[in-house]
Structure 1
Amino acid sequence: MTAAVVVAARRTPVGTAGRALGVVTVDRLAAHVLRAVADDIGERAAAPVDDVVLGNCMGPGGNIARVSALAAGLGEEVPGVTVDRQCGSGLAAVVQAAQAVVSGDARLVLAGGAESASTAPIRAHRSLEGAGEPVPYARAPFTPAEFGDPEMGEAAEALAAARHVSRDRQDAYAAASHARALAAQRAGRFDAELVPLTELGADDRPRALRESVLARMPAAFVPGGTVTAGNSCPVSDGAAAVGVVADELREGRPGLRVVAGATVGCDPRLPGWGPVPAVQRVLHQAGAKMDDVAVVEIVEAFAGQVLAVTDALGLDPLGGDAARVCPDGGAIALGHPWGATGAVCVVRLFSRLVRGGAPAGTLGLATAAVGGGMGVAALVEVVR
């Protein structure tokens, strides 16, 4: 059985919704990074692109992966499929691509995710009576009503309370995420992975934040709560993609072998818990322990949710594991284009481990929580 290896990884800068990327549609965001990954692989690819798998949550439909593949100039013979696992969509797309390669159904797949919150369509229910104006709605349900169907901010508040994650720790984590992202920008650690788009050549969100400023921000979702706009991610636009090939086709190119991937369900009322059982499953599948993992990239939707998960996994991102958990900052600092961020985590692992010169055998982990009560995780290993 062959192995699936990520041999190229790129992303657009992440833009705050309504700003620099606000006029770029989701298919154009995706096409931009697909073209860059295809060019990175170039003529060294010993096989044509067999498929394009893209995550997306809020786009117009119409199979964005196929539209993007055509817009990227990959050829009429290259199909595409769009995956919706909400905030885990981009990571789930990479896992699905790896599964296709391992099974032998494909030899080269481009995978990732894209989201344009700025241009996402406004949705409305048709009148069931056949008369009257359509009724706008903010989102589709994550669960049936009897399962609570919480808003993500409210669910993050509930998880932080259930796991006793204090406001002080949440604000400290948010400040650290921004500080790490700013340090990475200054050191050029994002440069090789970025594909500039329109006037945006770098992520526009990271800023210097003091915990004292964050401490003054009011609760955003639950009166008297601990989750604020300052310790949560912003609504964002962006895209990311990777090239996944069969190991025998990489021809000495370094990359990340996908060791294991998993998607699991959890309590729909506490969807932020999903990474815990997902990570536990991939580690069990691989016969590995958390101490074996060099870098963990988790989708930072809310600081309270990240800390609840890392506490459960035995990680201390504000102490001894600061260099392991989102070491260059995460979605709180960079932004969270929902369908893309899971793939951004894989791009970040590629930069930290492959571009960063980690030795063969080094392990990395990407994980995301999913609305509706799910978790997605992937364990990868450096190959040289």
Structure 2
Amino acid sequence: MKHCYVVAAKRTAVVPRGGAFNHLQADELAAPVISALLEELPEAGGHVDQIIMGNALYGGGNPARLAALRAGIPEGVPALTLDTQCCAGMDAVRLGANFIRTGEARAAIVGGLESYSRSPIRSKRPMNKDDKAEPYLRPPFTPWAERDPDMVASAGDLSAELNCSREDQEKYAQRSHEKSLASQGFILKQIVPVEGVTSDKFTRRLSPSLLKKLPVVYGKEPYELTSATIAVEADAAAALLLVSEDVFEKLGGAGCLIEHSVSVGTDPAKPALSPLNAIQTCIKKADIELSDIALFEMMEAFALQGVLLERFLGEQASHKLNKWGGALSRGHPIGASGAINLVHMFHQLVDMPKGARGLASIAAAGGLGSALMLKAFGK
């Protein structure tokens, strides 16, 4: 099996639903990111022979193709959109890596694109001509209604089951915002300006007094979930440039090796546990120790997930988690979130010693989890 490398990674800012990106379709967000990747490494452009993007809310079609054409990718280069909900952006990277490892592609642009603001209003077609269309908010993620819970309710019930209090979760959310505020210089090199927006718009200072005043979204004391401990719906796009070993060497051998990746299935009624399961599976597959990982990037759909991973990592390693903040302090653009985590991880690893490893993970409705391990390979 051949090797696959990441040589560039970019994203838009993450903007809450209804904000500065509210008039842009998902493909319109992604096109500038794709263009920026090729501007950064123009010598790689002629090798790109596959575009793969994750998306969850577009409503059909193939937005990856639209984004590629908008970005000026030659018409002869195919594009593919996949949907594994929140895992989609990371799964697009996993799939693109396999295209390269098998020799089907020499270079690929992969990632995720999402617009909550422009997502379609959904309804089921009437079965009879006299019936009305039946609106719905989301499709089913399992065939069993009793095991297909609302995501917020599932996280809230799990918080009580695992003794993860509102206070624990609020402290984690506060740290996420603090780390994101401290990362402004770091993220400048990864964000592609769109509509003049060059920073994540949800990040703010959270005080204990403010957190205490927030109304309860779900749950009973002391395990309540609030708006601070649930990631806000958002718009964004992210993309990475993957190349084969021969192209990597032609480009100078700077970037990260995609060392391992996994997709796991877990209890559909408890999807928040999927990132931890994916991490454990990926480490086992790599045959390394937890201590061999220099940094972790986990999608914070809920503060609960961050608290659980910190408990798993222990006091000696929890500082490695989401060093520059997470989705609680940015927002959650479903199909793009996994790719955004990888963009963050790539930009941290390229400044670390050769051989340093990073592990990213994300969960999706229906009990799915994905994880991907990158290894620094020099500058």
What interval of TM-score do these two structures reach, taking the shorter chain for normalisation?
over 0.9
Q: Which stretch has the larger CA shift, 230-239 or 156-165? A: 156-165
Work out the number of aligned pairs and report it: 375
1:347 aligns with 2:359: no
Aligned partner of 1:99 in structure 2 is 98
Match of 1:192 in 2: 189
Q: Deviations over 1:194-237 (max 9, x none)?
A: 10100312111100101232123232133554211111110100
2: distance between equivalents of 1:93 and 1:163? 32
Q: Separation in 2 of the partners of 1:265 and 1:309?
A: 18
The question of whether the paired residues in 1 share the 8 Å contact of 2:7 and 2:256 is answered with yes
2:117 aligns with: 118
Asked if the contact 2:157–2:219 (Cα under 8 Å) also holds between the matched residues in 1, the reply is no
* Deviation by residue 1:325-382 (Cα, 9 ceiling, x = unmatched): 001000000111010010001100111111xx20110000010011000110001101
Is contact 1:296–1:326 with CA below 8 Å preserved after alignment?
A: yes
Q: Which runs of 5+ in 1 are unaligned?
A: none
From 363, 368, 379, the equivalent of 2:373 is 379
Instruction: Give the match for residue 208 of structure 1.
Output: 205
Distance 1:146 1:16 in 2: 30
Structure 1 stretch 327-336 or stretch 277-286: which is displaced more?
277-286
Q: Which residue matches 1:326?
A: 322
Per-residue CA distance 1:153-183 (angstroms, 9 max, x = gap): 1111122222211211100000000000001
Matched residues in 2 for 1:141 and 1:290: separation?
Answer: 35
Distance 1:37 1:142, change over 3 A: same
Q: TM-score, normalised by structure 2?
A: 0.96
Question: Which consecutive residues of structure 2, in runs of 5 or more, have no partner in the other structure?
Answer: none
Letter in 2 for 1:348: H
In the TM superposition, what is the alpha-carbon distance from 1:69 to its structure 2 partner?
0.8
Which residue does 1:290 correspond to in 2? 290
CA distance in 1, matches of 2:3, 2:208: 45
Partner residue, 2:227: 229
1:31 aligns with 2:31: yes
Q: Percent identity, aligned pairs only?
A: 37
Are the counterparts in 1 of residues 156 and 219 from structure 2 also a CA contact under 8 Å?
yes
Shift of 1:37: 1.2
User: 2: distance between equivalents of 1:221 and 1:238?
Assistant: 27
- 1:208 and 1:100 map into 2 onto residues whose CA distance is 43
Q: What one-letter code is carried by the residue in structure 2 that aligns with 1:184?
A: S
- Counterpart of 1:155 in structure 2 is 154
Root-mean-square deviation (CA), in Å? 1.4
* Further displaced range: 222-231 or 23-32: 222-231
How far apart in 2 are the matches of 1:193 and 1:226? 35
Checking the alignment, whether the CA contact within 8 Å between 2:266 and 2:367 is kept in structure 1 is yes
Contact 2:62/2:80 (8 A) holds in 1: yes
* Counterpart contact for 1:33–1:239, Cα < 8 Å: yes
Deviation at 1:119, TM superposition (A): 0.3
The alignment's TM-score, normalised by the length of structure 1, stands at: 0.94
Q: Which runs of 4+ in 1 moved over 6 A?
A: none
Q: Secondary structure, in 3 states, of the residue corresponding to 1:275?
A: helix
The worse-fitting range, judged by mean Cα deviation, of 138-147 and 292-301 is: 138-147
Q: CA deviation at 1:85?
A: 1.1
Per the TM alignment, residue 30 of structure 1 is displaced from its structure 2 partner at its CA by 1.2
Equivalent in 223, 247, 250 of residue 248 of structure 2: 250
How far residue 20 of structure 1 moved from its aligned partner, in angstroms, is 0.5
SS of the residue 1:9 aligns to? strand
Bigger shift: residues 275-284 or 14-23: 275-284
Deviation digits for residues 302-342 of structure 1, max 9, x if unmatched? Answer: 0012222442xx214xx543531001000000111010010
Q: Which amino acid aligns with 1:221?
A: Y
Deviation at 1:47, TM superposition (A): 4.9
Cα deviation 1:258-299 (Å, max 9, x = unaligned): 111111100000011111221112111111121111110000
Does 1:365 find its partner at 2:359? yes
3-state SS of 1:23 partner: coil
SS in 2 for 1:189: helix
* Deviation at residue 5 of structure 1 after TM alignment: 0.5
The AA in structure 1 aligned to 2:245 is D
In structure 1, C-alpha distance between the alignment counterparts of 2:46 and 2:244, rounded to whole Å: 10
Instruction: Provide the rounded CA distance (Å) in 2 between the counterparts of 1:374 and 1:147.
Output: 17
Residues 304, 169 of structure 1: alpha-carbon distance in 2 compared, 3 angstrom cutoff: same
The answer as to whether partners of 1:160 and 1:308 remain within 8 angstroms in 2 is: no
For 1:51, the equivalent position in structure 2 comes to: 50
2:165 and 2:317 mapped to 1: Cα distance? 19
Q: 2-side partners of 1:143 and 1:135: how far apart?
A: 20
Aligned position for 2:87:
88
